[in-house]
Amino acid sequence: MIVRPQQHWLALIFVWHGSVLSKIFTRLFLNFLLSVAVILMLPWYASLGIKLTVAPFSILGVAIAIFLGFRNNACYARYVEARLLWGQLMIAARSLLREVKNTLPDDSAIGEFVRLQIAFAHCLRMTLRRQPVEATLSRYLTPADLATVVQSSSPANRILLLMGNWLAARRREGQLSDILFHSLNNRLNDMSVVLAGCERIANTPVPFAYTLILHRTVYLFCILLPFALVVDLHYMTPFISVLVSYTFIALDALAEELEDPFGTENNDLPLDAICNAMEIDLLQMNDETDVPARILPDKRYQLT
């Protein structure tokens, strides 16, 4: 995620890093070259007696803008829901540890439970990003627990089971009453809801056919646009064509980024920073001093 301080409106016009311009620059440059080629071919093009007017492009442009807006709203809704889910995970993790420490103040193994919570957050992050989890989780789990988690088809869900087993063991030893165990188990259920919600977003993309028809229409529109503009605009055709193409192609590219909010692109959620903040909070709640440094935006305003 790009986290920039408030900037002057004029400076925002020239911002490169964090925009989708770096991703679509090649496509805009090809559109510019196509427009220049259309200008050079104008005498031959006019001799064919074929003339495209701006009228159909005006109608088609309005339709594309409406559907692009709808798709961007759908993708942004996925992004917002994903952020809300991770916010709920932070709330559930803090609340769970607070209740555990209040109900089991003399338990010397709470640090083990804390590391299970931290491992769950990191495991969920890396699973959503389709990254290997073993190396990271080895810092928080015992070798036996790590082996069972890695072999599971849903590692994060397996860690939830380990957390439930930890609480169940205290219940069998008489340290937790049925009421307290039920309350703590509800916190685990809240974390399970977050897990299922994130998996639903990650495994259910926007329907491919809908994305495909918009993608094809946008690029066909941008390819044919110079032929409609060249008769009236002549040498201004490349500039107007690139400007219009930038609007449509940028919206299409931005929707692709927002569709998967758990990735590592510029406009995706900063899951590394969220997990880092959770780890710091949980360790400090357990009065531990060996806590990691907080992840801050780098020199390019990038927060991973």
pLDDT tens for residues 121-179? Answer: 999 999 999 999 999 999 999 999 999 999 999 999 999 999 999 999 999 999 988 99
Dihedral (Cα; 150, 156, 161, 166), 10-degree rounding: 90
Q: Which residues pair with 2 in a beta bridge?
A: 302
Question: Per-residue confidence at 203, pLDDT binned at 50, 70, 90?
Answer: very high
Phi-psi region of 270 (alpha: psi -120 to 50; beta: other; left: phi over 0): beta
Q: How far does CA 298 lie from the centroid of its chain?
A: 18
Q: What are phi and psi of 232, to 5 degrees?
A: -95, -35
Phi-psi region of 287 (alpha: psi -120 to 50; beta: other; left: phi over 0): left
**Which class for 141: exposed (0-12), middle (13-18), buried (19 or more C-beta within 10 A)?**
buried
Residue 300 has pLDDT above 70, yes or no: no
**pTM for the structure as a whole:** 0.89
Q: Which residues contact 303 (CB under 8 A, 6 or more apart)?
A: 1, 2, 3, 270, 273, 295, 296, 297
* pLDDT score for 105: 87
Q: Which residues pair with 17 in a beta bridge?
A: 19
Residue 152, classed as helix, strand or coil, is: coil
Closest Cα to residue 215, out of 191, 248, 186?
248
CA 74-270-100 angle, to 5 degrees, is: 105
Residue 45 has pLDDT above 90, yes or no: no
